[in-house]
Amino acid sequence: MKYVLTGATGHVGNNVLRYLLEQKEKVKILVRREKDESFAGLDVEVCVGDLLNEDYLNANIESDSVVIHSAGIVDITKGNEKLMYDTNVVATKKIVDECIRKKAKLIYIGSTDAIYKESKDEKVSEPVDYYPEYFKDNYAVTKATASKYVLEKLNKKELRGCIIIPSAVIGPNDFKISSVGQAFLDCINHKMMGRMKGGYNFIDARDLAQAIYQASINSNSNQYLITGTDVSIDEMIKSIYKHLGRNKLPLYFPLWLVYIGATFAPMFAKIKGTKPIFTIKMVETVNGNHNYDNTLAKSELGLKIRPYEESISDSLDWLKEYKTK
């Protein structure tokens, strides 16, 4: 058995790569360039190419492969619609079709953003279907579209594998700097503008990687919500500042003012060349439903969740070492 991993330079993929290597597994990564700081020095087979290229997929996915498809574009702004659709939807469908043709196993990394929630209070479990037509933002639409395709193939027994559905990911090895990582960096660099109402569910990338590995060696073809701890934005910023040894917290802004700021934040972030933190979508998300039920992942994958304070501490330590030099 050989692992084929996409998205190895991303936050989730890179932690999966490192966990697989710790388990002494052989890993082939499908990437766009031969060298990258995220996998420099790791004992891994590097295969350069384009996930949209069917010949490339045919050459690298074999009948005994376990394909972990974590590649994807998370863009909560506008301007990359085609690239996001091609990466999140078209490439996923091509990988699914190749896995079916080769009878390879697929572990697809979805997103809680792709789950349609009817109310702010309902308990959210693994969805029976996906509804891309109910979403407006492009990221949710593309992830829901791709997840729907994977689920249909699983339900028809045409595809072996499962869908992993993580919540917001934190933790080390965030080489490309995710939106959450950018918020942590802003705190480190004294650029955090303020606190606000809301919160979300956060899973450590290392706990997620362990669950993904367990799914890869598990014979079940299920969906799994891989979610961690519910933390308010205010509580998280306080924990960050406590770890940084700072007593003076950023100002707390009322939600109406945050919405005004979120309207212009993407433009300023683009000018600065950083990822936007406060967008309208982000404010809506952290004030929406994140009441996730991870019972199935705990029972079938042995999901273990470390204390979120540990995840915050390790995230900050990693960012200070690798991204603030």
Region of residue 65 (phi > 0: left; psi between -120 and 50: alpha; otherwise: beta): beta
Residues sharing a CB contact under 8 Å with residue 63, sequence separation 6 or more, in sequence order: 102, 103, 104
Within 10 A of 304 (CB to CB), how many other CB atoms are there? 12
Residues sharing a CB contact under 8 Å with residue 97, sequence separation 6 or more, in sequence order: none
Q: How far is CA 164 from the centre of its chain?
A: 10
Architecture of the structural domain at 2-175+201-229+291-305: 3-Layer(aba) Sandwich (3.40)
Q: What is the pLDDT along the chain (325 residues), one digit of tens a residue?
A: 799 999 999 999 999 999 999 999 999 999 999 999 999 999 999 999 999 999 999 999 999 999 999 999 987 556 678 999 999 999 999 999 999 999 999 999 999 999 999 887 889 999 999 999 999 889 999 999 999 999 999 999 999 999 999 999 999 999 999 989 999 999 999 988 789 999 999 999 999 999 999 999 998 889 999 999 999 999 999 999 999 999 999 999 998 888 887 787 666 666 666 666 668 888 888 889 999 999 999 999 999 999 999 999 999 999 999 887 6
**Residue 259: per-residue pLDDT:** 82
- Distance, in Å, from the CA atom of 162 to the CA atom of 160, rounded to the nearest integer, reads 7
Which of 294, 290, 318 lies closest to 304 in space, CA to CA?
294
Token digits of residue 5: 């991993």
**Residue 100: per-residue pLDDT:** 98
DSSP per-residue string spanning 186-222? HHHTT----B-S-EEEEEEHHHHHHHHHHHHH-----
Which of 221, 175, 207, 230 lies closest to 298 in space, CA to CA?
207
**Residue 265: per-residue pLDDT:** 67
**Residue 118: per-residue pLDDT:** 83
Q: Do residues 51 and 13 touch, judged by C-beta distance below 8 A? A: no
Which of 132, 115, 111 lies closest to 123 in space, CA to CA?
115
Token digits of residue 148: 């729907």
**Residue 119: per-residue pLDDT:** 80
Q: Do residues 11 and 76 touch, judged by C-beta distance below 8 A? A: no
**Residue 260: per-residue pLDDT:** 84
The answer, as to whether pTM is greater than 0.85, is yes
